[in-house]
Amino acid sequence: MEYFEYNQFHFFIRQLLVGLISIFIMWGGFSQIDPDKIVNRVGMGFFILFFYYNGFDAILPSSMVTASGGANRWIRLPGFSLSPVEFFLKSDLYIFFHGLFIEG
């Protein structure tokens, strides 16, 4: 059976590869990092980066931005699409709770 002109194992293989790569990154890479040193930088970096990406949605050409319900929200990059709003919201929550519980 074919979906979107792919063979029947295409999506299984994609998900398997992403899952295996993710597991090896977690075991080999992130498990060796001290979270107190890097989490604050990553959270603030995501907040600033995707805050600016949200502003760039309005000026990007229509070939790179997909309109969804009249709003340009998805940035199309080679091989995948990116929704900067989702990353911005998660990093915004991180900064809120960090200030609420850690520093307060």
Containing structural domain, residue 12: 1-32
Rounded to whole angstroms, the Cα distance separating 73 from 90 reads 16
Give the number of domains in the chain.
Answer: 2
Tens digits of pLDDT across the chain (104 residues): 656 677 888 889 999 999 999 998 888 877 787 777 777 787 778 778 877 877 777 777 777 777 666 656 677 778 777 777 777 777 777 777 777 776 54
Kindly state whether residues 14 and 49 are assigned to the same domain: no
Same domain, 21 and 52: no
Q: What is the pLDDT of residues 54-72, one digit of tens each?
A: 777 777 777 777 766 665 6
Same domain for 38 and 65, yes or no, is: yes
pLDDT at 93: 79
The first and second tokens of residue 51, run together, are: 């805050």
Do 46 and 92 lie in one domain? The reply is yes
Asked if residue 21 and residue 8 are part of one domain, the reply reads: yes
| Residues 45 and 24 occupy one common structural domain | no
